Structure 1
Amino acid sequence: MRLFSTVLILFSILSMLNGCTGSPGQHLGGALNKEQALKLNPDADIFEFDGEVYKTNVDWIEEEELKKEKQIGEIKEGMANKLPIGAKIFTTKERKDILIVEYDGKEKRYLLQLGE
């Protein structure tokens, strides 16, 4: 009986802790959707491409040496919250989780958004 009570108490504690530690993207293969990314940071500059969400203003990616590889698309209506329609999207040669967006003579780097 004592062992049963101990196991029941431990199970209850673990269940409560698990319920308190949830985060956007958890248990979803790690990928965040637009709503989850904006919930983490309502002012984030994001866009969605090919079912994946990318965000800019990530300090460490600005320091990376990256080269544009090939254009894979353009920003269309509803894809981005701050980018202009027609901005060009490029892959990078060095990393698959970073895309470069070019518009009005500017380049911005965007990192794939993953949860836990």
Structure 2
Amino acid sequence: MLRLIACQRILIAAAVLSIFLLAACVSETQPRTVQVSTTENPTAAEWIKLEPDASLFQYNDTIYVADVSWVDDLELTRGDPVTKVLRQHTDEDSFQNGDANRLEKGTPIHETEERGDILIVVTSKGDIRFLQLVEG
């Protein structure tokens, strides 16, 4: 009789252990979440909020900013003229191609021979380099 009770206890313990192990191995189905993020280039208004004294120019629907120290340290060659400042515009919320917030109307803008993301602005005080602001 004692052996029967001991065997029953061993079987019950084995069954409980088996159920516990099976329950631990079964994973609950989780709903799949897919995150989608989009990146957009900064607007003039967004940049001015970050840097109120920034000098901006818009060309080909992209904002360019001056006074980036590492850009000023590059050895660059002024290339062909690509455009000029069409409007000196202080309302950064409605910036358009050709608008600048600090450059005078008619100021010539040149490409660089070495890089496509930097423009050189020719002023009476010297050349100013503008870096394209892109996200990503």
TM over 0.5: yes
Match of 2:47 in 1: 37
The one-letter code matched in structure 1 to 2:71 is: I
**1:80-106 C-alpha deviation (Å, 9 max, x unpaired):** 111111110000000000000002141
Match of 2:63 in 1: 53
**1:34-93 C-alpha deviation (Å, 9 max, x unpaired):** 112212212111110121100011000111010011001110113011111111000000
The one-letter code matched in structure 1 to 2:126 is: K
Rounded to whole Å, the distance in 1 between the matches of 2:62 and 2:116 is 12
Based on CA coordinates, which of the two structures has the bigger radius of gyration?
Answer: 2
Contact 1:37–1:113, Cα closer than 8 Å, also in 2: no
Give how far 1:115 is off. 2.6
How do 1:32-111 and structure 2 match up within 5 A?
32-77=42-87, 78=89, 79-111=99-131
The one-letter code matched in structure 1 to 2:61 is: G
1:27 to 16, 34, 38: 38
* Aligned length, in residue pairs: 101
Structure 1: state its 5+ residue gaps: 16-25
Partner SS for 2:67: coil
Match of 2:20 in 1: none
The one-letter code matched in structure 2 to 1:47 is: F
The alignment's TM-score, normalised by the length of structure 2, stands at 0.63
Give how far 1:3 is off. 3.9
Q: Which runs of 4+ in 1 moved over 4 A?
A: none
The one-letter code matched in structure 1 to 2:70 is: W
Match of 1:23 in 2: none
Distance change >3 Å, CA 96–CA 89, structure 1 → 2: same
Rounded to whole Å, the distance in 2 between the matches of 1:58 and 1:105 is 17
The one-letter code matched in structure 2 to 1:64 is: L
